[in-house]
Amino acid sequence: MFLINCPFCGEREQSEFKAGGEAHIVRPKQPTELSDDEWAEYLFMRKNIKGVQFERWNHVHGCRKWFNMVRDTSNDQIKAVYKMGEKPPVK
């Protein structure tokens, strides 16, 4: 079980958190201008890589805040956590 360093609360058990899929996917500002394919790209397509992945997490049983995490899915090492709207501190 991970120890996750919530950017608002500090280190907490993984059981307090919920994973929320790939990070840095921005909801299109003008969905009506998009073709079916473009909309489907936003709606359905998510990466699932073995290696360094950018993810959204929610401290659902804590401060309820969403934040981002850089995690290596091959060994579950958390490289960084950072707030929504911030740029990833690592590549």
Partner 1 sequence: MSNNLRFKTSKFIDETYRVSFKFNNKTYFGFKGDTLASALLANGIHLVGRSFKYHRPRGIMTSGSEEPNAIIQLHDNSSRTEPNVRATEVEIYEGLVASSQNCWPNVNFDIGGINNLLSPILPAGFYYKTFMWPASFWEKYEYFIRKSAGLGKSPKVADPDIYEHKYIHCDVLVIGAGISGIMAAKMAAKNGFKTLLVDEKSYLGGSSIYDNSEFSKINNQITSSWLEKEINEISKLENLEIKIRTSVAAFHGYNFLLARENLTDHLPINQRENKVRQRLLKIRAKKVITATGSIERPLIFDNNDRPGILLSSAIKKYIDLYGVACGENNILFTNNDTAYETAMSLIQRGIKINAIIDNREQIDSKISYEVEKNNIEIYKGYTVVDTYGYRRINKISIMKLSKDGQTVIGDKTKLNCDCLGVSGGWTPAVHLFTQSGGKLKFREEDQVFIPNVYPSDQISVGSCNGDFGLEEIIRNTLSSIKKFLDIDNSEYKTVETISGLNQSKRNIWLLPSDKSIGKTKSFVDYQNDATAKDIKLALREGFRSIEHVKRYTTTGMGTDQGKLGNMHALGIISETAGSKMGEHGTTTFRPPYTPLTFGTIVGRNVGEFFDIFRRTPIHDWHVANNAEFENVGQWKRAWYYPKDNENMHQAVQRESKAARDSAGILDASTLGKIDIQGTDASEFLNRVYTNAWSKLAVGKCRYGLMLNEDGMVYDDGVTTRLGENHYIMTTTTGGAAIVLGKLEDYLQTEWPELDVYLSSVTDHYATISVCGPNSKKIVSKVIPDLDLSDEKFPHMSFKNAKIDNIKCRVMRISFTGEHSYEINIQANFGKSVWEKCMEAGKDFNITPYGTETMHLLRAEKGFIIVGQDTDATLTPIDLQMDWIVSKKKYDFIGKRSLYRSDTIREDRKQLVGLLTENPEEVLEEGAQIVADIKKSPIEMLGHVTSSYYSPNLKKSIALGVVKGGKNMLGQKLIIPMENKNINVTVADPVFLDKEGERLNVKL
Q: Binding residues for partner 1, per CB under 8 A?
A: 1-3, 18, 20, 26-27, 30-32, 34, 36, 39-40, 43, 56, 58, 60, 64-66, 75-76, 84-85
78 within 8 A of 5, measured Cβ to Cβ: yes
Number of residues that bind Zn ion (CB under 5 A): 6
Which is nearer to partner 1, 49 or 76 (by Cβ)? 76
Instruction: Give the nearer residue to partner 1 in terms of CB position, either 47 or 74.
Output: 74
Q: 37 phi and psi, to 5 degrees?
A: -65, -40
Q: Dihedral sign, CA of 13, 80, 41, 60?
A: positive
Sketch the per residue contact string, 13 through 52, with Zn ion: x for CB under 5 A, - otherwise.
----------------------------------------
* 82 contact, one of Zn ion, partner 1, none, CB 5-8 Å limit per kind: none
59 makes contact with Zn ion (CB under 5 A)? yes
Could you write out the DSSP letters of every residue in 67-84?
EEEEEETTTTEEEEEEET
| Dist. CA 83–CA 28, nearest whole Å | 21
